[in-house]
């Protein structure tokens, strides 16, 4: 797909995402549901335990819980993703400010998703993590955030230790990064937008350059806002 066509497709998908999530949210909030709503899948299996019960094998799957990482945002605040943002749903992407190819598209798409949840500030936090922390200082991230006209409380642009960031992407989010922790210009970042629930399970990986996938991310995030997770709390 040509670049102009791809950008147009993303913007169209972003506009659609302004209406889809809130519609899904209010439909479930007002109308309720019977527990049969198709919620987002879990990603990353740590182990599968099996046991024989009543002559049948029973399987219990343990899904990966994303461990913490501490970074610094564009306001120079230290942010622990699991403690500072405890209880929040995370919508996350990777980028770097000097990127002139896919990063501007991803950032515009994140901005549109941000607008889709404008009235639900307490439930969802948007995060854009730099894979070039040496260049992307706090000041540079602040300038980038201002350029995006970002709500500084709701959308964090984050920097920190490079090895920790790549470890988080590879080993906690389970992203397939073939390289990216070596040379000065060796910045490899995924094109996905990642959805993480409030219990820190990865619940979605979406191609940030595909309008249909972006719309699905918005819809899935809306469902997670009302989810009672059977692994962590009882349904009422």
pLDDT-derived band at 178, boundaries 50, 70, 90: low
pLDDT at 121: 63
Query: Over the stretch 199-215, which tens digit does the pLDDT of each residue have?
Result: 999 999 999 988 889 88
Q: If you average pLDDT over every residue of the chain, what do you get?
A: 78
Q: Give yes or no for a contact between 157 and 130, defined as CB atoms under 8 angstroms apart.
A: yes
pTM, rounded to two decimals: 0.77
pLDDT at 227: 77
Residue, of 81 and 187, whose pLDDT is higher: 81
Query: Over the stretch 108-124, which tens digit does the pLDDT of each residue have?
Result: 999 989 888 876 567 89
pLDDT at 73: 98
Of 19-33, 95-109, 115-129, 173-187, the one with minimum mean pLDDT is 19-33
Residue, of 138 and 40, whose pLDDT is higher: 138
Query: Over the stretch 36-50, which tens digit does the pLDDT of each residue have?
Result: 556 777 776 655 544
Burial readout 60-82 (b: 16 or more C-beta within 10 A, e: otherwise): eeebbebeebebbbbeeeebebe
Backbone angles phi, psi at 8, to 5 degrees: -60, -40
Q: Give yes or no for a contact between 97 and 141, defined as CB atoms under 8 angstroms apart.
A: yes
Q: Give yes or no for a contact between 166 and 133, defined as CB atoms under 8 angstroms apart.
A: no
In the chain, where are the structural domains located? 3-224
pLDDT at 225: 87
Percent above pLDDT 90 for the chain: 47
Residue 28 confidence (pLDDT) above 50: no
Taking alpha carbons only, the member of 233, 192, 232, 221 closest to residue 89 is 221
Residue 24 confidence (pLDDT) above 90: no
pLDDT-derived band at 53, boundaries 50, 70, 90: low
pLDDT at 39: 72
Within 13 Å and on the Cβ side, how many CA atoms surround 63?
16
- CATH 3.40.30.10 assigned to 3-224: yes
Non-local (6+) Cβ contacts of 156 within 8 A are: 73, 74, 79, 125, 126, 127, 128
What is the rounded CA–CA span in Å between residue 112 and residue 11?
8
What is the rounded CA–CA span in Å between residue 171 and residue 174?
5
């Amino acid at each position: 797909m040509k670049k102009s066509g791809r950008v147009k497709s993303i913007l169209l998908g972003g506009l659609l995402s302004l209406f889809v999530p809130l519609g899904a949210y209010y439909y479930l909030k007002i109308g309720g549901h019977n527990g049969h709503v198709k919620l987002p899948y879990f990603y990353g299996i740590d182990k599968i335990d099996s046991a024989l019960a009543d002559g049948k094998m029973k399987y219990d799957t343990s899904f990966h819980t994303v461990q913490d990482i501490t970074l610094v945002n564009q306001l120079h605040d230290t942010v622990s993703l699991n403690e500072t943002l405890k209880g929040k749903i995370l919508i996350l992407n990777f980028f770097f400010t000097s990127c002139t190819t896919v990063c501007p598209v991803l950032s515009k798409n994140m901005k549109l998703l941000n607008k889709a949840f404008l009235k639900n500030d307490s439930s969802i936090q948007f995060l854009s993590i730099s894979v070039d922390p040496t260049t992307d200082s706090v000041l540079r991230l602040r300038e980038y955030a201002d350029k995006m006209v970002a709500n500084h409380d709701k959308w964090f642009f984050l920097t920190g230790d490079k090895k920790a960031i790549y470890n988080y992407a590879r080993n906690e989010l389970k992203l397939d990064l073939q390289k990216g922790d070596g040379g000065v210009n060796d910045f490899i970042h995924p094109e996905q937008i990642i959805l993480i629930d409030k219990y820190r399970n990865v619940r979605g990986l979406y191609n940030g350059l595909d309008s249909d996938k972006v719309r699905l991310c918005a819809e899935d995030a809306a469902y997670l806002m009302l989810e009672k997770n059977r692994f962590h709390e009882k349904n009422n």
